[in-house]
Amino acid sequence: MTIVSDAAAAPDAASAADRLRITEIFLSLQGEARDAGWPTVFVRLTGCPLRCQYCDTAYAFHGGDWWQVDAILAEVARHGVRHVCVTGGEPLAQKRCLGLLRRLCDAGYDVSLETSGAVDIAGVDPRVCRVLDIKTPGSGEAARNLWPNLPLLTARDQVKFVICDRADFDWARAVVAEHRLHEACEVLFSPSAAQLPARELADWIVAEKPPVRFQLQLHKLLWNDEPGR
Ligand code: SF4
């Protein structure tokens, strides 16, 4: 794990416009979505305006350190891998995240963005794979879903539902059908780890055959959600 409080990255007044608050930058395996299994550098931005009841990254709500974008790029490069995932918290809650994503794409990385679905994704560089959550009623944050994001999704993107119970499963199937999400991009259903046995969700998908892909989070299986893994 690399959690850096980097004095060299501390901004002066002139460079404050080019900085982001970062909780951690670390190398691991991508645990989910399209790039699951690839060695990936994670850039975890600090802060999130949501409070999902199952959140596994509450340590990213506060704290962190200010990093210049150049210092972030240098730290990413140090790890020497092609895949970079910008995550949080909610990374888009910091407006300068858009510039970071663009710089990472310009540098030639294969870039993904994990976002809550509660913030406008229109400004995200089109080279980025956007992994957009749709918050179910069981999350406690369904009222935060920004529905105008859905028509912006393309085949590069993915939509993810974390399913807490059968009511969530039925709700999510209805949302997929109503918005024809499976025609825009791949749709992922994951069990909420502490609430729904993975086998149960898998059985529901086999029985009902919604046009979605079952997903388990590799990093939970491998490292039980240690920060920085
Ligand atoms: S959006 Fe993500 S980081 Fe924010 S509270 Fe929900 S699960 Fe946690």
How far, in whole angstroms, is CA 123 from its chain's centroid? 16
The set of protein residues with a Cβ atom below 6 angstroms from ligand 1 is 48, 50-52, 55, 57, 88-90, 116
Residue closest by Cα to atom 5 of ligand 1: 51
48 belongs to an annotated ligand binding site: yes
CA of 143 to the centre of ligand 1 (A): 14
Report the alpha-carbon distance of residue 213 to residue 216 in Å, rounded. Answer: 10
Where b means 16+ CB within 10 Å and e means fewer, 33-63 reads bbbbeeebbbbbbbbbebebeebebebbbee
124-175 residue pLDDT tens: 999 999 999 999 999 999 999 999 999 999 999 999 999 999 999 999 999 9
Question: Binning pLDDT at 50, 70 and 90, where does residue 224 land?
Answer: confident
Ligand 1 atom nearest the C-alpha of 141 is 6
Distances from the Cα of 226 to the Cαs of 59, 104, 107, in angstroms? 11, 26, 29
Q: Which domains are present in the chain?
A: 7-223 (3.20.20.70)
Ligand 1 atom closest to the CA of 48, numbered from 1: 4
Ligand 1: which atom is nearest the Cα of residue 162?
7
Q: Counting atoms of ligand 1 from 1, which one is nearest the CA of 51?
A: 5
Tell me whether residue 56 is annotated as binding: yes
Longest dimension (CA), the chain: 59
Model confidence band, residue 217 (pLDDT cutoffs 50, 70, 90)? confident
pLDDT, residue 228, reads 66
The full DSSP string for 149-175 is GGGG--TT-EEEEEE-SHHHHHHHHHH
> Hey, what are 226's tokens?
């240690």
- 195 annotated ligand binder: no
C-alpha of residue 24 to centroid of ligand 1, in Å: 16
Considering only CA atoms, which residue is closest to atom 7 of ligand 1? 55
What is the rounded distance in angstroms from the CA atom of residue 75 to the CA atom of residue 70? Answer: 9
109 is in an annotated binding site: no
Q: Could you read off the pLDDT of 5-64 as tens digits, one per residue?
A: 444 444 455 477 899 999 999 999 998 888 899 999 999 999 999 999 999 999 999 999
Nearest Cα residue to atom 3 of ligand 1:
89
Is 213 labelled a binding residue? Answer: no
Q: Which atom of ligand 1 is nearest to the CA of 88?
A: 3
Answer yes or no: pTM beyond 0.85: yes
105 is in an annotated binding site: no
